[in-house]
Structure 1
Amino acid sequence: MSDDGAGRTPETTSRDGSPRQAWAGLPWLVRTAVLWSACLVVVSAGLYLVGRIAVLLAPLAIALAATVFLTALLDPVLLRLRRLRLPAALAALLTVLLLLGILVGVGALVWNLTASQFSELSEELQRGLQRSRDFVTSTLPVSDQQLDRLIDQGRQALSQGSLDPVSGARTVGEVLGSALLALVLLFFLLKDGRSMWHWVLDRATGPNRAVAAEAGRIGWRTLGAYSRGTMMIAAIDAIGIGLALVVLRVPLALPLALIVFLGGFVPIIGATVTGAVAVLVALAANGPVTALLTLAAVIAVQQIEGNLLEPLIMKRQVRLHPAVILVAVTAGTLIGGIAGAFVAVPVTAVIWRIVDTVQQQRESSVAG
């Protein structure tokens, strides 16, 4: 073993030196990996903790998420009413009443036109599933007994998670309570949201105030653009696929278009699932040729929307890579179920824009 000239071997120096010297003696790649791993663990633990708290307080979390989403969506309406010199309370009340009028009007219209058809939807889906079953058993090396066994296992899993009447009534009460809470909070955020934000900014001092103001402005603009853009894209998908279903004379075109519209709020996965439902109903009602044409129409509408309309509507600062969207939707679904899938992407987009803005502000201050 070689000597370093002072009577100590390198191993002894590393073992007897201070922790700082031992850390400096590590290769730079190891130090970088350790730091990034520690940061990743801390961030992941924080996000997991926030997610678990949101799940425990699910009615409150859903009400808050819906309130913020609707506030960002309706903020332009409030600003236009404020330009007419209306008081803040009256402008907020009119905005909430406009939202309720639209929801009630659309709901009544859809119910009047399709109430008699909703009972047929389950029957059409059953026939579609039966045809799909026949196709699977005749094409793939799967017997009827094996398929029945898989279906029974799925039914048992669903029955284990079924709710009793008491739990069902409690769930309905929680949903109604969350909706009422969201409406009340929506009124107050529309009325006093800006003054609340200025109060928060007044508590920040020095250069942090400018950074917080810019990050908040960019984050709010991103959420508003995402909310309005997502609604427009969902409406385009619903109109395009609905028209295709009408042309192909697929029954239940309006309910299916409504399902496509709701699924459009979950990027990528929602459009895929709702499109599959439309194809399944077309298969059950009109056969495989109509189902293939419906599938072609669904793919065409989604390709036009994803490659042409989405970049124009969502703008570059709101868009996320599809891989990031899939990871965010999957994580949101695992943590919060359907509600988590709805809010995962906007939360990710806002956080990304805020972090990017803070980083740019710090770089510009260092350069200055």
Structure 2
Amino acid sequence: MAADEAGTDTAPTQGTAPRTGTGATPTNGDTGPRQAWAALPWLVRTAVLWSACLVVVVAGLYLVGRIAVLLAPLAIALAATVFLTALLDPVLLLLRRLRLPAALAALLTVLLLLGVLVGLGALVWNLTASQFDQLSQELTQGLERSRDFVTSTLPVTDAQLDRLVEQARQGFSGSSPDPVAGARTASEVVGSALLALVLLFFLLKDGRSMWHWVLSRVSGPNRSVATEAGRAGWQTLGAYSRGTMLIAAIDAIGIGLALVLLRVPLALPLALITFLGGFVPIIGATVAGAVAVLVALAANGPTTALLTLAAVIAVQQIEGNLLEPLVMKRQVRLHPAVILVAVTAGTLIAGIAGAFVSVPITAVLWRVIDTVQRRRSAANGLLTG
């Protein structure tokens, strides 16, 4: 009986692996992939893991971008609303310090914005409406002179240059204008503007209470991380919006004064183009400067064009090396390579609107991620210490 019990305890059951002190022996199906993975060099394993993570991140960003393109009017309205809210937040806080109710302060802030936009638009239109046709003619003449210079200097014939220009024009235009599509686009623009104004009022009025409601749904230690990351992202967006507007205005004033001193026609429209181009870093300033040089070439010849080019470069160098470090906070600044990649990606995904919003989105995301990483590193240091 004892022998039978001993045999029962020690004899393995048919079809099962014998037990050892370290547990059951893994089957070949378990050890095969693991041994193959462990046999790979560490550099290959690291590259595979990082590549997989990069593919997932890029796929997620692409999916978000495609959804934003499909909902373009709503996405543009939301982006404009958040940007304007960050820009006008100091005005709202000033009115709140005067003991005004939140709704009244938000309404006055929106009305102030509308007054400034309508006033500036009316002023610019009255001064330059009759000059836009002349601006188009000056640009055409400048392009013709540039074409003559290229054909006389480089080994390019007129036929080859015409073919390249035609291919570029077809690539940009895509197809013939469609009146129905144009009317639909105009209605979408008007609808997006109205929606942005309504959302701007509610964000100014209830934005902070909305953020507190979001934080109340976050529990545990993650709440402090979310609070700090959100505050850092909002401060970055506010600093970027106000700094970009100030730098764009300084660029427009500097280049406009240079055009006036050089007696280049259409100085005010060119300054307005420079101001708008300042909201697209690097690329916008380059395009605006090129337009000013072309107009100067067409109107006053190559000498004035070279002087205009020197003035544009000088203003941009002063802005990039002196004004931007002073106006922009350190946490807002991005490397020029990152800015170029962000602007290019935004343009490819959503056109002009994507070029405008790509850099602030990148700056805010980087600031939020950096804040979260620093908090986690500090927490890990406390735990290990």
Task: Report the CA distance between 1:18 and its aligned residue.
Answer: 5.0
- Aligned counterparts, 1:1-368, within 5 A: 17=31, 19-368=33-382
User: Contact conserved, 1:62 with 1:178, CA < 8 A, in 2?
Assistant: yes
Instruction: Give the letter for the 2:280 counterpart.
Output: V
Instruction: Give the letter for the 2:273 counterpart.
Output: I
Aligned to 1:6: none
Aligned to 1:8: none
Instruction: Give the letter for the 2:328 counterpart.
Output: M
Q: TM-score under structure 1 normalisation?
A: 0.94
Instruction: Give the letter for the 1:312 counterpart.
Output: L
The DSSP-based 3-state class of the residue aligned with 1:29 is helix
Task: Report the CA distance between 1:158 and its aligned residue.
Answer: 4.3
| In 2, Cα distance between equivalents of 1:152 and 1:211 | 55
Q: TM-score under structure 2 normalisation?
A: 0.90
Number of aligned residues? 356
| In 1, Cα distance between equivalents of 2:75 and 2:93 | 27
| In 1, Cα distance between equivalents of 2:337 and 2:79 | 24
The two structures, once aligned, show a CA RMSD in angstroms of 1.4
Q: Which deviations, in whole Å up to 9, do the C-alpha atoms of 1:17-64 show, x marking residues without a partner?
A: 254444333322122111111110000000000000000000000000
Q: Which deviations, in whole Å up to 9, do the C-alpha atoms of 1:313-336 show, x marking residues without a partner?
A: 112111000000001001111111
The DSSP-based 3-state class of the residue aligned with 1:17 is helix
| In 1, Cα distance between equivalents of 2:70 and 2:111 | 31
User: Contact conserved, 1:14 with 1:21, CA < 8 A, in 2?
Assistant: no
Task: Report the CA distance between 1:155 and its aligned residue.
Answer: 3.4
Structure 1: unaligned runs, 5 residues or longer: 1-12
Structure 2: unaligned runs, 5 residues or longer: 1-26
Instruction: Give the letter for the 1:70 counterpart.
Output: L
Task: Report the CA distance between 1:338 and its aligned residue.
Answer: 0.5
Instruction: Give the letter for the 1:116 counterpart.
Output: S
Task: Report the CA distance between 1:365 and its aligned residue.
Answer: 1.1
| In 2, Cα distance between equivalents of 1:206 and 1:366 | 16
The DSSP-based 3-state class of the residue aligned with 2:156 is coil
Q: Which deviations, in whole Å up to 9, do the C-alpha atoms of 1:282-312 show, x marking residues without a partner?
A: 0000000000000000000000000011011
Instruction: Give the letter for the 1:189 counterpart.
Output: L
* Larger Rg over CA atoms: 2
Moved more, 17-26 or 254-263: 17-26
1:26/1:155 CA distance change after superposition, 3 Å: closer
Task: Report the CA distance between 1:15 and its aligned residue.
Answer: 8.1
Task: Report the CA distance between 1:153 and its aligned residue.
Answer: 2.5
| In 2, Cα distance between equivalents of 1:26 and 1:126 | 62
The DSSP-based 3-state class of the residue aligned with 1:345 is helix
1:292/1:167 CA distance change after superposition, 3 Å: same
Q: Which deviations, in whole Å up to 9, do the C-alpha atoms of 1:128-148 show, x marking residues without a partner?
A: 011111111111111111112
Give aligned-pair identity as a percent. Answer: 84
1:246/1:14 CA distance change after superposition, 3 Å: farther
1:209/1:21 CA distance change after superposition, 3 Å: farther
Aligned to 1:7: none
| In 2, Cα distance between equivalents of 1:188 and 1:156 | 43
